[in-house]
Amino acid sequence: MEQEQPREVGSGAPGEQKPDRTPPPAEAWTALSHLLTGILLFGAIGWGVDQLFDLRGFTVAGLLAGAAASMYLIYVRYVKS
């Protein structure tokens, strides 16, 4: 995989004006999908912890942590790169 990369970049670069990343409209859908996935995934984990150990508050913590994690993921994927 690693050796392949320079050739790919080199062959695509000259006549190409498109940056080789996710196109903008799809970025929006993907970002939304990431956001919901993070919230639901960690919310579900928190809810599971709450149910398993008969606790409270982990659901909320999971939802919030999931939201934060997804936003960071979107930042890493689409803003920083």
Partner 1 sequence: MTTTATAPAPGFEAPGVDAFQLPPLFGDVTKPVLQLVLAAIIIVVLFRVATSRMQLVPGRAQFLGESFHGIVRNTVARDMIGPEFVKYVPFLTALFAFVLVNNLFGIIPFLQFPTFSHPGVPYALAGLVWIVFTYVGVKHHGFGGYMRISTWPPDVPWWVRIILTPIEFLSNIILRPVTLSLRLFGNMFAGHLLLVLFILGGEYMLVVADSITLKILSPFAFLMGIVFTFFEAFIQVVQAYIFVMLTASYIGTVLADDH
Contacting positions for partner 1 (CB under 8 A): 1, 4-5, 8-9, 12, 15-16, 18, 20-23, 25-26, 29-30, 33-34, 36-38, 41, 66, 69-70, 72-73, 76-77, 80-81
Annotate 6-66 with DSSP letters as a single string: HHHHHHHSTT--S-SS--HHHHHHHHHHHHHHHHHHHHHHHHHHHHHHT-SSHHHHHHHHH
Smallest gap from Cβ 54 to partner 1, in A, equals 25
Nearer to partner 1, 37 or 64 (CB): 37
In the complex with partner 1, the residue whose CB is nearer, 15 or 52, is 15
